[in-house]
């Protein structure tokens, strides 16, 4: 299958909720316009940042439909995460995503009944990819959340049996495996990197695209990392990468999901509070987060 690689920054977008916790698709247009203003032109919908495991099947369909609607007249492209513990749900979401013309689909491994080996994982990927045969398929490797830690180089070596298998969303800090994945079958597969705080290291090894949650609100820093790396300005690239590290180090003290959603509110894109079991930040805690972000210079970097 012919496909274009995911180059540059891909924002793993939040799923917006109303004050009563219900899905609020009316915010999607504001998210879309904000990303375009930050020169981010691909959105990864309903992934980990999008709290996909906390959404119903109907909510996931509705959210993708709204993203497809608001991006129809722009140059924003969409990657739809369709992974689920329920294979029929994943296949339904894959077919639904293809019907809305997404650029690609992605799916993480089931996390309750886990695949025991590459044979089971490959069979599972084949079922989902086959439900959207005209759309590039990415396996979403995120062992820290899925609990599935299998050899990605081995998966790619055998992925030719799936015609629309395009590559990986590699949210894994195993850079040894990352290098191997980039070179399987002569570099045939697209390996989009998923650790924002390690973007520069991935670029040095050959990455061309990255998917991450902080690209919603810290895209200028990461654009500058890419630009400086390409220009050979490594000291500047390292300085910018450390700004990414400082931002993430600050957020995690407050809880990553609640903290990132709080930052979006500060930037004028209110995506609501996260669903349980993630915890929300009250007004006082959000102010402390803002103060700590100001102290490291976050708002001056934008």
Strands 190-193 and 165-170 turn out to be: parallel
Residue 148: other Cβ atoms inside 10 A: 17
Among residues 169, 215, 261, 286, which one is catalytic? Answer: 169
Catalytic residue, chosen from 30, 91, 138, 140, is 140
Distances (CA, A) of 151 to 66, 166, 167, 175: 36, 17, 14, 12
What is the distance between the alpha carbons of residues 159 and 136, in angstroms, rounded to a whole number? Answer: 13
Q: What are phi and psi of 142, to 5 degrees?
A: -145, 70
* Tokens 């995506």 -> residue: 271
Chain centroid to CA 218: how far? 14
- Residue 80's SS3 state is strand
Whether the CB-CB separation of 13 and 216 falls below 8 Å is answered with: yes
Distance (Å, whole) CA 171 – CA 145: 10
Closest by alpha carbon to 126, among 107, 145, 111, 143?
107
Distances (CA, A) of 215 to 71, 85, 177: 18, 27, 24
Overall size of the chain counted in residues: 302
Instruction: Please answer whether residues 40 and 215 qualify as being in contact, where contact means their C-beta atoms are separated by less than 8 angstroms.
Output: yes
CA distance 216 to 40: 8
Largest CA distance in the chain: 54
Clarify whether 169 is annotated catalytic. Answer: yes
Instruction: Tell me if residue 215 is catalytic.
Output: no
Give me the active site residues, please: 140, 169
């Amino acid at each position: 299958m012919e496909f274009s690689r995911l180059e540059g920054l891909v924002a793993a977008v939040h799923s917006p909720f109303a004050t009563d916790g219900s899905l609020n698709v009316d915010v999607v247009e504001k998210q879309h316009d904000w990303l375009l203003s930050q020169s981010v032109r691909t959105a990864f919908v309903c992934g980990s940042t999008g709290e996909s495991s906390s959404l119903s099947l109907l909510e996931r369909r509705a959210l993708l439909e709204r993203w497809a609607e608001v991006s129809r007249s722009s140059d924003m492209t969409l990657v739809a995460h369709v992974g689920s513990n329920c294979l029929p749900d994943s296949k339904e979401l894959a077919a639904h995503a293809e019907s809305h013309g997404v650029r690609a689909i992605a799916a993480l491994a089931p996390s309750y009944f886990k695949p025991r080996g590459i044979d089971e994982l490959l069979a599972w990927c084949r079922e989902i990819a086959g439900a959207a045969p005209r759309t590039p398929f990415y396996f979403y490797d995120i062992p820290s959340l899925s609990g599935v830690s299998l050899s990605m180089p081995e998966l790619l070596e055998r992925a030719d049996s799936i015609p629309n298998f395009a590559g990986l969303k590699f949210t894994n800090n195993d850079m040894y495996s990352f290098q191997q994945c980039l070179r399987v079958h002569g570099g045939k597969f697209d390996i989009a990197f998923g650790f924002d705080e390690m973007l520069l290291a991935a670029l040095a090894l050959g990455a061309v695209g990255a998917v991450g949650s902080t690209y919603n609100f810290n895209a200028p820093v990461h654009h500058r990392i890419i630009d400086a790396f390409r220009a050979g300005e490594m000291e500047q690239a390292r300085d910018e990468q450390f700004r990414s590290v400082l931002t993430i180090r600050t957020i995690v003290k407050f809880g990553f999901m609640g903290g990132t959603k709080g930052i979006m509110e500060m930037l004028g894109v209110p995506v609501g509070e996260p669903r349980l079991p993630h915890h929300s930040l009250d007004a006082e805690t959000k102010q402390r987060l803002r103060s700590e972000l100001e102290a490291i210079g976050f708002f001056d970097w934008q």
